[in-house]
Amino acid sequence: MPLTVVVGGFFGDCGKGKIISHLALRDKVKIVARGGVGPNAGHTVIHEGVAYRLRQIPSGFIQQGARLLIGPGVLVSPGILLEEVKLTNTRDRLGLDRQVGIIEEKHIDEDTKSAYLKKRIGTTGTGCGPAQQERAKRTLKVGQEVDVLKDFLTDVPLEINEALEKERNILLEGTQGTYLSLYHGTYPYVTSKDITASAICADVGVGPKRVDDVVVVFKAYVTRVGGGPLENELSEKEAKRKGWYEIATVTRRVRRSAPFNFDLARRAIMLNSGTKIALTKLDVVFPKDRAKTKWVELSAEARKFVARVEEEIKTPVAFIGTGPGSHQIIDRTIV
């Protein structure tokens, strides 16, 4: 490892939670740190038959003993966070940076009442955009000002960098996907900040020289929620026929879908300095390959698709998701 960044390649909803949980277990990581925006993004982890839909707690929590950190660049909704702490039983492992931004009810009200954000952009209504506005004005409340969070407060950059000095395995968890980045996405149909790998590092206080691997996660087809362009978009009827019809974790809205986009994938690798690809939901495109855990078990059609991804994007496909469970994966880095 010892420092791996995991980010989304398209428009989010790509299976980062699955990949992060796999890497956390495989490498017995000491720290899983969350960067990104805030509770506007949901990560789903299915482990030992239980589905955890998380918006704040890092997906690698299933690695028992791992320290779970939320960096100063992240927005926190105290209510959502404390619910997830209880759900995951991670109170004694969680650390919040003193400068995490705090989402309040006024931010949610402003977000949900904006016709422009709601109808045109497709905001999740979680208050992240208005909170980011306040942060830019230097008026946003931060973690050290919230009494119910005081037991979790720590210096996240210091913890991570001290662990790196000891060569501990660390995962940095991004949110959403490259093309929802405020700077590199399909503006104005984007989120409220940058979410590429370099930004995730900045969110937790890690410099670029510290990074060993950047895993960019792509679904075997493309989905996005809300407004914005989607090349070769399928009708809802066609998406249902193919099995690509999905409901978003946070908003519960229908995800729009389209075939895998090689041009977008190539650019996402460039923007993130990706070293490895994780290709998820291969079993949705190739149903007979569901739950396969070895490369040699995959159908010829599936292997051909993976080979094309590697050839066109010039980056190895290291991980292949073949089902929703944390163990339904092909890890090609294990010999």
Residues annotated as catalytic are 13, 43
CB 123 within 8 A of CB 114: yes
CB 79 within 8 A of CB 104: no
Greatest alpha-carbon span in the chain: 57
Q: How far apart are CA 81 and CA 220, in angstroms?
A: 31
Radius of gyration of the chain, Cα coordinates, nearest whole angstrom: 19
Residue given tokens 């409220």 in the structure block: 192
Cα-flanking dihedrals φ and ψ of residue 160, to 5°?
-65, -45
Residue 155, judged by CB atoms within 10 A of its CB (0-12, 13-18, 19+), counts as middle
| DSSP string across 131-147 | HHHHHHTT---BGGG-G
| DSSP string across 229-255 | --TTPPPHHHHHHHT--EE-TTT-PEE
